């Protein structure tokens, strides 16, 4: 099968090849890329892990189960899986041992000889974050990443635990590798509608003139999850919603909305514009943290007829834990474009519905000539980017209701991706893996972005650490979080937008 893009033959090592991420996300994404002809004509995927498999076939069988369960395309599994999976092998190896890397070196040399070309070599670290520095050091010592043009490393989040540890990690990596070789994943950046924000803003002339504090009243970003912490209690105890979702995904969404127009689509140009936003976010003073943020933790309760335990009763969670599973906050961006426009963000586990939504609320018109009864249901213009579960963009405006009288009603203009493109909705990991193979780091986090994002949340982390929450648990599952989160936005005369399936506002 010839690649659409004539890509250089590629060797992809997945460290953590027997893990959950490989099974749920990476291999289903790679398989979809294969089906759609986006992989290089010559490629191999080499899983490396500690689990024992009797043979490559047994490993492939496990991956196939993952594809069947988690891939967005199911129909061609039987026909093409065989052709795809013959490029996959597995090796049970210890990633802390030197000889592992000697094997890796000889496999790369063998392939280069067989293909008669210098391949692109990617090391995907789908491993526990604490292993990453040691693995990176081995790769460097064994000179496996010496050619920065043809070798790349992919790091999953979390990237550091706070500003200090992120800096240290960046410094370690910076001494061994070129920044261009380092791909720090924030999978939200690969989501279709997230990328569409760039297209919407910078491929249309219509919106830029009103995209500022003169016309925009406020912005809301919601990333609500319907699940709890599941089996990740141990990890989550070290993280909490602020580190897990706000430091990365939510701040990246905010950057997409708030960034200035790039002068080109060059990866660094786009990342420069985003880092400018992070640097312009107003530092919350320690004494103001409690007025501008809300944290929450879920109690036990019921979700769709099923009883669920509270966060403190989850596996590997301290029964007195003060870790937050919900965050709401208000940020300001101190620059000419956004002065005094509040950006409200919220995210939480066990919310009423899974939804990731950005709403841009425009200011009221200065005056209405319509008679009083015409504007009873009047609402300001609002632009909605729905990132998931539906991918769509909606513009709310006023229109006349049919009938003899002039009555105005808010209506939506809608771009629905599924309808427009016959249900075609690639997964974030497909886009991101393809970008790594092609060597395009635009949608990946640069070292300074990661650090700037940590700086934004540092005052919140510190203030929360100094004042333990006394009201935890403070929200029930299947809700929209603690009441204080409603109060945070209500104080400014607004309310959170939730486009639930039952209540399409
Ligand atoms: C991950 C977080 O980065 O994002 C998880 O660690 C969270 O806690 C997940 O569940 C949410 O991703 P998505 O794509 O399901 O919104």
Active site residue 249: yes
Predicted confidence (pLDDT) at residue 47 exceeds the cutoff of 90? yes
Instruction: Grade residue 76 by pLDDT with cuts at 50, 70 and 90.
Output: low
Cβ atoms of 471 and 301 closer than 8 Å: no
Q: Whose CA is nearest to atom 5 of ligand 1?
A: 244
- What's the distance, CA 339 to chain centroid? 26
Tokens of 226: 């319907």
Instruction: Grade residue 12 by pLDDT with cuts at 50, 70 and 90.
Output: very high
| Backbone phi, psi, residue 376, to 5° | -60, -40
Averaged pLDDT of the chain: 94
- d(CA 97, ligand 1 centre) in Å: 32
Residue 413, SS3 per DSSP: strand
pLDDT at 502: 45
Region of poorest pLDDT, from 15-24, 71-80, 136-145: 71-80
Number of Cα atoms under 13 Å in the Cβ half of residue 76: 14
- d(CA 223, ligand 1 centre) in Å: 9
pLDDT over 90 for what percent of the chain?
88
pLDDT at 6: 86
Cβ atoms of 328 and 294 closer than 8 Å: yes
Cβ atoms of 142 and 98 closer than 8 Å: yes
The closest of 451, 458, 484, 483 to 292, measured between CA atoms, is 484
Instruction: Grade residue 2 by pLDDT with cuts at 50, 70 and 90.
Output: low
Answer yes or no: is the C-beta of 244 below 6 A from any ligand 1 atom. Answer: yes
Residue 273 CB burial class (10 angstroms; 0-12, 13-18, ≥19): middle
Predicted confidence (pLDDT) at residue 504 exceeds the cutoff of 50? no
Region of poorest pLDDT, from 37-51, 89-103, 357-371: 357-371
Among 187, 249, 352, 361, the one annotated catalytic: 249
Q: Whose CA is nearest to atom 8 of ligand 1?
A: 244
Q: Which ligand 1 atom lies nearest to the CA of residue 235?
A: 6
Tokens of 125: 């670290």
Predicted confidence (pLDDT) at residue 374 exceeds the cutoff of 90? no
Contacts of 381 (CB under 8 A, 6+ apart): 361, 362, 395, 396, 397
Q: Look at 257 and 158; give whichever has higher pLDDT.
A: 257
Contacts of 277 (CB under 8 A, 6+ apart): 254, 255, 258, 259, 333
* DSSP secondary structure string for all residues of 14-33: EETTTSHHIIIIIHHHHHHH
- d(CA 153, ligand 1 centre) in Å: 21
Answer yes or no: is the C-beta of 427 below 6 A from any ligand 1 atom. Answer: no
pLDDT at 234: 94
pLDDT at 77: 73
* DSSP secondary structure string for all residues of 154-171: EEPSP--SSHHHHHHHHH
Tokens of 179: 């920044």
Model-level pTM greater than 0.85?
Answer: yes
The closest of 273, 268, 274, 277 to 441, measured between CA atoms, is 268
pLDDT at 378: 82
pLDDT digits (tens, 9 = 90+) for 100-127: 999 999 999 999 999 999 999 999 999 9
Q: Whose CA is nearest to atom 15 of ligand 1?
A: 225
For 385-396, the three-class secondary structure string (H helix, E strand, C coil) is EEEECCCEEEEE
pLDDT at 1: 56
pLDDT digits (tens, 9 = 90+) for 439-491: 999 999 999 999 999 999 999 999 999 999 999 999 999 999 999 999 999 99
Taking the chain, what is the end-to-end CA distance rounded to the nearest angstrom? Answer: 47
Rounded mean pLDDT, 62-82: 86
Residue 149 vs residues 5, 39, 245, 436, 439: alpha-carbon distances, Å: 18, 19, 32, 12, 9
């Amino acid at each position: 099968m010839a690649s659409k893009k004539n890509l250089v033959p590629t060797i992809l090592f997945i460290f953590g090849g027997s893990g959950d991420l490989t099974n749920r996300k990476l291999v289903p994404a790679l398989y979809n890329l294969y089906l759609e002809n986006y992989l290089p004509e010559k490629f191999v995927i080499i899983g490396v892990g500690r689990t024992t498999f009797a043979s490559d076939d047994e490993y492939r069988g496990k991956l196939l189960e993952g594809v069947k369960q988690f891939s967005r395309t199911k129909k061609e599994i039987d026909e093409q899986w065989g052709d795809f999976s013959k490029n996959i092998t597995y090796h049970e190896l210890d990633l802390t041992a030197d000889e592992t890397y000697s094997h890796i070196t000889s496999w790369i040399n063998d392939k280069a000889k067989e293909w008669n070309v210098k391949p692109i070599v990617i090391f995907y670290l789908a491993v526990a974050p604490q292993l990453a520095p040691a693995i990176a050091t081995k790769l460097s010592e064994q000179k496996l990443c010496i050619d920065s043009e043809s070798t790349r490393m992919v790091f999953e989040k979390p990237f550091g635990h706070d500003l200090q540890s992120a800096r240290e990690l960046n410094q370690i990596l910076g001494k061994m590798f070129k920044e261009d070789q380092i791909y720090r994943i924030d999978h939200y950046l690969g989501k279709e509608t997230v990328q569409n924000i760039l297209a919407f803003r910078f491929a249309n002339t219509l919106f830029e003139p009103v995209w500022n504090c003169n016309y925009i009243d406020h912005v809301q970003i919601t990333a609500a999850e319907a699940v709890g912490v599941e089996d990740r209690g141990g990890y989550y105890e070290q993280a909490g919603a602020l580190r897990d979702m706000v430091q990365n995904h939510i701040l990246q969404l905010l950057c997409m909305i708030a960034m200035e127009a790039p002068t080109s689509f060059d990866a660094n140009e786009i990342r420069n514009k985003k880092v400018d936003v992070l640097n312009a976010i107003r530092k919350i003073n320690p004494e103001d943290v409690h007025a501008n943020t809300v944290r929450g933790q879920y109690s036990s309760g019921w979700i769709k007829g099923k009883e669920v335990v509270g966060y403190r009763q989850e596996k590997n969670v301290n029964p007195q834990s003060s870790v937050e599973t919900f965050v709401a906050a208000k940020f300001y961006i101190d620059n000419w474009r956004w002065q005094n426009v509040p950006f409200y963000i919220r995210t939480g586990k066990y919310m009423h519905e899974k939804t990731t939504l950005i709403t841009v609320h425009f200011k009221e018109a200065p005056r209405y000539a319509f008679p009083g009864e015409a504007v009873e249901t009047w609402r300001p213009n609002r632009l909605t980017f729905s990132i998931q579960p539906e991918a769509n963009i909606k513009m709310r405006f006023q229109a006349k209701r049919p009938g003899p009288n002039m009555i105005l009603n808010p209506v939506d203009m809608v771009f629905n991706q599924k309808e427009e493109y016959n249900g075609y909705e690639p997964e974030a990991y497909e886009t991101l893996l393809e970008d790594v193979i092609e060597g395009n780091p635009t949608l990946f986090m640069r070292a300074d972005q990661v650090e700037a994002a940590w700086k934004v949340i540092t005052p919140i982390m510190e203030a929360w650490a100094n004042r333990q929450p006394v009201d935890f648990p403070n929200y029930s599952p299947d809700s929209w979080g603690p009441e204080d989160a409603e109060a945070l936005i209500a104080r400014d005369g607004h309310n959170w937008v939730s486009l639930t399936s039952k209540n399409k506002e």
